Amino acid sequence: MSDHDSTTRTAAQELWLRFAGTDSSVNREHVLDTADRVLTALDADLRRWAGAEGYGALLRRATAIVEVQHPALRHITDLAMEASPSGNGRVHPASEIAEGMIALLAALMELLNRIVGAEMGARLMGNVGVPSLRGVVSTSNGNQTDD
């Protein structure tokens, strides 16, 4: 693994842990709920920059990159992955689902880095799920009066 890959993986783990908290891979329902929240935040935040089709293409490509090594991602319905005939309906443990999500996040970061550069890609992914003041309107006019 190169330093660049290591940096991307570390950033992906940090993003996952921001949503999962310290109980990141113990409880299966918690992991599935966290995956749903991460994907919802990604959709909301990256769609703004890449557009609906662009974000959809990024997610499909990232999923295609990691799905072979992380079949546990098939449990996440938002990814719309087909059932694996070789999986025989296996229920993967929470730790494998969490690991798959971290790999998916890292793949998304890599794809973004190729498109917009490492600095902007890191900024976009680093702001996923972080509240923004954009769109907040104040009714106060400061110290000015309408006289």
Q: What angle do CA 118, 119, 124 make, to 5 degrees?
A: 95
Tokens of 62: 């990232």
| pLDDT by position in tens, the chain (length 147) | 444 577 888 888 888 988 888 765 578 889 999 999 989 988 888 888 888 898 899 999 999 999 999 998 988 877 866 555 444 567 888 889 999 999 999 999 899 888 887 777 677 777 776 666 565 444 555 555 554
How far is residue 90's CA from residue 75's CA, in Å, rounded to a whole number? 10
Q: Where are the domains of the chain?
A: 3-126
pTM given for the model: 0.77
Query: Among residues 73, 85, 88, which one has the least CA distance to residue 32?
Result: 73
Long-range contacts from 110-117, C-beta under 8 angstroms, 24+ separation:
110/8, 111/58, 111/61, 111/62, 112/46, 112/58, 113/8
Looking at residue 137, its pLDDT comes to 45
Are 99 and 70 spatial neighbours (Cβ–Cβ below 8 Å)?
A: yes
Q: How far apart are CA 60 and CA 48, in angstroms?
A: 17
Residue 56 and residue 79 in contact, taking contact as beta carbons nearer than 8 Å? no
Tokens of residue 105, six digits: 């996040």
* Identity of the amino acid at 37: R
Yes or no: say if 105 and 38 are a contact pair by the CB < 8 Å rule. Answer: yes
What's the distance, CA 108 to chain centroid?
A: 7
pLDDT for res 1: 44
